[in-house]
Amino acid sequence: MSHFEHASLRPAALPADLDEAAHRCLVAGFEGTTSVPDTLKELIDRGLGGVILFTRNVRDARQVRRLTDELRALRPDLLVAIDNEGGGIGHLVGAGAPDVPGSYALGVADDPNLTARCADALAGHLATLGITASYAPVADLQRRPDNPIVRTRSFGADPGLAARHLRAWITATEARGVASCAKHFPGHGGTVTDSHHGMAVDPRPYDELSADLEPFRAAIDAGVPMLMSAHVVFPALDPNRPATLSRRILGDLLRHDLGFDGVLVSDALEMRAIADQYGEAAGARIALAAGADQVIVAVGDLNVTLDCRDAVLDALRTGVLARERIEEAAGRVRRLAERYATPPAHVADWDPGAGLRAARRAVRSRGVPPAVPGAHVVDLFPPPHPALNWGGEDLLTEVRALDPTTTGTAVTGECGADPDALVEGILRRCGTAPLVVATCDAGLHPWQSRLRDALSARRPDAVLVDTGLPEGGALCAYGRGRVNLRAVTEVLVGAAGG
């Protein structure tokens, strides 16, 4: 007997309408590209509110559309969602996702019309795939240089700048019939911990947190239909629980003070900030009681989703979770589905060059030679984040595409037991050619700093490039999306950008 069948045969079953309402409050991840697992079919039949797709569900555009059509055939009001921020943060490379820079580069270019064109391209592509909910844009402010998770996903540190670009993004996405989602309320930019890996805490007093709320206010004013909560503890707001599980933050602050009445969705419950401290099942129950309308269980193992579902049903049976709270949440999800569950019948073309234009306008330079053709390029970058699926694009590939005489070395992750030998090998291969050394968030990854400093000490003429946030290089791309790297490449090789 399966887990699902066992749960289904329990005595004292809930009324059918309440059972369906509880299922509306769940968003499930799953494995597979060409068929829907039986357990997921059963969940959908009982009223599952949404599914979230990841790279594991993507092979190519035609396959994704077949999959979303199959899902929607099971239940037409099922929301099909994905993380789709741009700048390499997304899961649709295999399906031909438009190349746009990350949000920080858009903030540096600071042209809301161009931001809107980039958001329109992403949303238009989603609509062609039958995906009608996008867990983007990021509304967090990049507050700390040692923040490990927001960084170039943010539009910047200034709340006014972030607000105007959020409005542009949300409006453009809405025009495509795709639901956007501002995240991670009330902000993840003031932490030094990635909530994927542990509990994050923002220790700032309330008066310092208030500016971080302004982008979310702007998103709400722009009509954003969804917000996503942060797995972050804010002692000034609620010293006991992270925002995802806090009635003070989700109810008093978001619903009452900010007046948001759209769908509030949790960040993924299997993230260690929740899973390690509470467990996914308890996290689901507490989040819904606190005011979330949907909880995401993004992991592909549907048994985790079933555990979360069972915890919610048990809490309803025992009165720990109020029926009225779940009916309120399910009502919001139904209204969201009425607006967004059905993809548009016709999808107009989008501007395919908007992303590269934005990336070019974001590049900042100081003291760079007119061009360094025939260079030896050393690209240092951390391994891709498993949840965000940055694709690991490298600068060397982009430079070679424009200058085939380029040589180089790409290094991702720690450089082994003998970094001195690596430095000697790089310098030997470089010879008398110009040397370019690119880093990405070297302040967070000391091995990059050590290699960069060792190389530049031996070659003071080396051109230093920052592909994340600025770290003193002569060139800064403000992101590692493919178009960010292409734009900085054009400067390095002297190619004329459009």
- Catalytic (active-site) positions: 196, 267
Beta strands in 350-403 (DSSP E): 364-365, 376-381
> Contact, 336 vs 50, CB < 8 A?
no
Partner residues linked to 409 by β-bridges: 378
- DSSP class of residue 179? B
Please choose, from the candidates 440, 435, 405, the residue with its C-alpha nearest in 3D space to the C-alpha of residue 423.
435
Q: How far apart are CA 355 and CA 99, in angstroms?
A: 6
Please choose, from the candidates 460, 379, 442, 448, the residue with its C-alpha nearest in 3D space to the C-alpha of residue 419.
448
Amino acid at 271: M
> Contact, 298 vs 52, CB < 8 A?
yes
Task: Kindly report the length of the chain.
Answer: 498
Task: Convert 216-249 to b/e letters by CB count within 10 Å (16 or more is b).
Answer: bbbbbebebbbbbbbbbbbeebbeebbbbbbebb
Q: How far is CA 469 from the centre of its chain?
A: 17
Please choose, from the candidates 311, 370, 381, the residue with its C-alpha nearest in 3D space to the C-alpha of residue 493.
370
Beta strands in 22-122 (DSSP E): 26-28, 50-53, 79-82, 84-86, 89-90
> Contact, 244 vs 266, CB < 8 A?
yes
